[in-house]
Amino acid sequence: MSTIASSLIFPAIASAQDIKIALITGKTGALESYAKETETGFMMGLEYLTGGKMEINGRKIKVILKDDQSKPDMARTLLAEAYGDDRVDLAVGTTSSGAALAMLPVAAEYKKILIVEPAVADAITGDKWNRYIFRTSRNSMQDGLAAASTIKGGGSIAFLAQDYAFGRDAVKAAKESLAMVGSKANVVHEEYAPQNTTDFTAAAQRIFDALKNKPEPRILQIVWAGPNPMNKLADMKPERFGIALAPGGNILPVMKTWKNYAGTQGTIFYYYDFPKNKMNDWLVSEHTKRFKAPPDMFTAGGFTAASAVISALSKAKSSDTEKLITAMEGMEFDTPKGKMNFRKEDHQALQAMYHFKIKKDQKNEWDLLEMVKEIPASEIPVPVKNKR
């Protein structure tokens, strides 16, 4: 896969003094929209944080874009190409958890930093982690703990998830999270479906059969990347069996199809109207002006990764890997969600999450969610799972 340089914004040929950053995303395939949002957010973040100059410490910033098509082998190859042939100072990526996991050993081999965004698998900052890995995106345990904090009572839970690394990792984390928050709810069923599933009839029937005679409340948690099956499940009228749907947050084009399910609750790591800070105000205003729509959650993620990059380079006053690691361990930095910091033990960014419900009275096509509660990072006790 050839390198695609963002030559509309940066010089096509970098000088030796340029800071070079590889941004690797899965712009081809099922997660294309996530990748495009990440790229948009990353570029807007660099623009905002450098005052439009696209330079730091007196050095121009050059971003090299690569598409790994969400394929682990290609992700590994492109990262090696970035570190070796392109001689980037650091890299950011990628969209798929499977592809991100394949990249981790490459960072260790080349002794260069990889900031993981937006992949969420716990293993990235868990048993597959190495000291060159930092993650700005939330992980599966943060998702799980946020959701579990809303289900502390009794009842019965079933899961529907995609049958690959993200889905299975998320359900595992969700079950562990329920135990950690002391929830009395019992998990009675786990259903895993292929990523490209379009007919959920058989899966839904198995879930309904497992839940319908169990203690209330009966909750079906949906863990799904890409086009979400909530509408199809709702059409099967789970309320006949006293079953409530609990979707995880999704991208705006998906969530705006949920308008008929006002009052349905879930958790999400970003919705443009929730955080109140100067950085998010600029992102929402500028993105709406440029794209006629508010920023989505992966746009905010890309912006957050850019903030981590600029904060690290500014603090280290160097692009040397060891100086960057020293600067980044425990580093606090501003994001559209507010303050985050990289935990020293595993380099996971600790961050707030949000408990939402779908609005009944929506003023426009993007007025979708009402915040029930911000869940601060201090209430999300993410366990350290690496072997440092």
The closest alpha carbon to 157, from 169, 144, 166, belongs to 144
How many other CB atoms are there within 10 angstroms of residue 86's CB atom?
A: 18
Residue 384 falls inside a structural domain: no
pLDDT of residue 6: 41
Q: Say how far apart CA 335 and CA 270 lie, in whole Å.
A: 11
The closest alpha carbon to 234, from 210, 259, 213, 211, belongs to 259
DSSP string, 99-112: HHHHHHHHHHHHT-
Indicate whether 249 and 174 sit together in one domain: yes
Calculate the dihedral angle through the C-alpha atoms of 343, 79, 55, 287, rounding to the nearest 10 degrees: -80
CB proximity list for 260: less than 8 A, separation 6 or greater: 234
pLDDT of residue 248: 82
Indicate whether 49 and 86 sit together in one domain: yes
Indicate whether 264 and 155 sit together in one domain: yes
Q: Say how far apart CA 195 and CA 168 lie, in whole Å.
A: 12
Residue 387 falls inside a structural domain: no
pLDDT of residue 240: 95
pLDDT of residue 16: 55
The C-alpha R_g of the chain, in whole angstroms, comes to: 21
Asked whether 3 and 67 are in contact (CB, 8 A), the reply is: no
Indicate whether 237 and 367 sit together in one domain: yes
Q: Say how far apart CA 38 and CA 327 lie, in whole Å.
A: 24
Average confidence score pLDDT of the chain:
93
Residue 388 falls inside a structural domain: no
Residue 386 falls inside a structural domain: no
Indicate whether 224 and 252 sit together in one domain: yes
Number of domains in the chain: 2
Residue 121 falls inside a structural domain: yes
pLDDT of residue 9: 42
Indicate whether 235 and 246 sit together in one domain: yes
How many other CB atoms are there within 10 angstroms of residue 140's CB atom?
A: 28
pLDDT of residue 194: 92
Indicate whether 13 and 133 sit together in one domain: yes
Residue 106 falls inside a structural domain: yes
Sheet hosting strand 218-223, strand order edge to edge: 186-193, 156-162, 218-223, 243-247
Indicate whether 128 and 72 sit together in one domain: yes
Calculate the dihedral angle through the C-alpha atoms of 131, 137, 143, 149, rounding to the nearest 10 degrees: 90
How many other CB atoms are there within 10 angstroms of residue 379's CB atom?
A: 14
Q: Which domain holds residue 176?
A: 141-268+353-379
Q: Which amino acid makes up residue 200?
A: F
Indicate whether 49 and 174 sit together in one domain: no
Indicate whether 33 and 61 sit together in one domain: yes
Indicate whether 231 and 152 sit together in one domain: yes
3-state DSSP assignment of residue 187 = strand
The alpha-helical segments, DSSP class H, found in the chain are 32-49, 72-84, 97-110, 140-148, 165-180, 201-211, 230-235, 252-255, 278-291, 297-316, 321-328
Indicate whether 37 and 93 sit together in one domain: yes
Residue 385 falls inside a structural domain: no
Give me the CATH number covering residue 132.
Answer: 3.40.50.2300
Residue 134 falls inside a structural domain: yes
User: Which residues of the chain have a pLDDT value below 70?
Assistant: 1-16
